[in-house]
Amino acid sequence: MHAPTGSRRERLLSPTFAKPASVGGLPLTRSRPSMTDEHSLRLALFTETWTPQVNGVARTLERLRDAVIARGGDVLVVTADDPEAQAEPNVYRAPSAPFWAYPQLRLAWPTRNTVSEVLRAFSPTLVHVATEFGVGLAGRSAAQRLQLPLVTSYHTNFTAYAQYYNLGMLARPGWQYLRWFHSAGARTYCPTQSIVHEVQTQGFRNCAVWSRGVDTQRFSPMHRRDAMREQLGIADDVLLVTYVGRVAAEKGLDVALKAMRLAADARPGRIAFAVIGDGPFDQEMRARTPEPRWIPGKLLGADLSTAYASSDLFLFPSTTDTFGNVLLEAMASGLPVIGADVGPTRELLGDTRGWLVAPGSAEAMAAALVQAVDEPALRYERATSALEFAASCSWDGVWDRLFADYLRLQQPSVRAIA
């Protein structure tokens, strides 16, 4: 979707006064709650990333929008425009441009007056700012200006990314900026306890865990299809090792490539590799992933469910993620995981749901791959433990806890915003 057209007034008000529609099959109510209804939530959500972008943050926030509506609330999303976006009710898109360092990410800088007018039209009882760039800054500023309750969430470890790209000199000012940004909120939500501890050591306050769940109907061993493996020429005694996610260097894929080569050389003909996703490291992966391999690009829906369940092992080399949504999806699909031994991954895998290996060590990762080939009984034991853990990660429980906290923090009654 390109930059909005029409009068400025029309652009501002169209998200709020669009014709009634539904989101995920749920009715999108336009009526305002009564002035005395303390259990009605009107959430204004600010994020740089939103559908049609496919990443863990965008998917989580879309689920959040649907969960709030399912619980009787209403949501306005303020985000960046995207050329491939479709019009959605209650989604305001600000004109944007690709981020030079990562063109898949688009940045927008909506003005304070524009955002204030959008919020006045919607009358939120709570503002949730989920990203720290232009859209998030605009939401933070407008919430303070209009004296609206504000919460933030911490999704991306920018300082780890800076270290990865040899920009460590940015880590200290990066933490200073993030501490200033999140200090404005009554709550900063983090995806794991290890991330809470990390940001608290950097001076963050009012932190709480907002965990993640998994849809165990969509991601399940029942989606395994032997026909898919046969079509790819992968026999039952060949270990199919899969990576799903953004195909980018900061995900540790250079380490994964070296580990793949070492393991393939150690056990020739016994391991196949699948790389699912897209991103700037795609050509490198296609050039260097050992045969046999399957690199289909981005998969969605039933195709993704089948790809997970038809694999035997999941590879997660990242040291920069604050939460690996794909880890839960893989475990729910019946896969044990080989992951870098960093806080968020350790919190999900524990000691029994896969292999934790030294971060950045291709040799350690290759050794775990070889053990998974040589000891199928151990692999099955860890797959069973992973499946049991994923079954306990209910999205409903996650949303119920977050929604209850929202209600505690929101404006006690809906009022007109001056």
> Do 182 and 241 belong to one domain?
no
Q: Indicate whether 403 and 380 sit together in one domain.
A: no
Is 267 inside a domain boundary?
yes
Domain count, the chain: 2
Backbone dihedral region of 416: left (phi > 0), alpha (psi from -120 to 50 degrees) or beta? beta
Is residue 377 situated within a structural domain? Answer: yes
- In a domain, residue 251? The reply is yes
Q: Are 293 and 274 in contact (CB under 8 A)?
A: yes
Q: Same domain, yes or no, for 250 and 323?
A: yes
Same domain, 256 and 385: yes
Q: Are residues 77 and 118 part of one domain?
A: yes
Note whether 351 and 287 are same-domain residues. yes
171 and 298 assigned to the same domain:
no
Scanning the structure block, which residue is given the tokens 């976006």? 85
> Quick one: 60 and 180 in the same domain?
yes
Residues 200 and 249 in one domain: no
Give the HSE-up count for residue 8: Cα atoms under 13 Å, Cβ half-sphere.
Answer: 6
Give me the CATH number covering residue 338: 3.40.50.2000
Q: Are residues 61 and 172 in the same domain?
A: yes
Q: Would you say residue 1 lies in a domain?
A: no
Assess if residue 189 is contained within a domain.
Answer: yes
Q: What is the pTM of this model?
A: 0.80
Q: Which domain holds residue 265?
A: 221-393
Q: For residue 367, give Cα distances in angstroms to 117, 123, 268, 274.
A: 58, 56, 14, 19
Q: How far apart are CA 170 and CA 166, in angstroms?
A: 9
- Paired tokens of 274: 């699948």
Residue 44 lies in a domain: yes
Q: What is the pLDDT along the chain (418 residues), one digit of tens a residue?
A: 433 333 322 233 334 323 333 323 323 344 343 333 556 899 999 999 999 988 889 999 999 999 999 999 999 999 999 998 898 999 999 999 987 766 777 889 999 889 999 999 999 999 999 999 999 999 999 999 999 999 999 997 776 666 666 666 667 888 899 999 999 999 999 999 999 999 999 999 999 999 999 999 999 999 999 999 999 999 999 999 999 999 988 899 999 999 999 999 999 999 999 999 998 899 999 999 999 999 999 999 999 999 999 999 999 999 988 888 999 999 999 999 999 999 999 999 999 999 999 999 999 999 999 999 999 999 999 999 999 999 999 999 999 999 999 999 997 644 556 5
Same domain, 245 and 369: yes
**Position 319 in a domain:** yes
236 and 206 share one domain: no
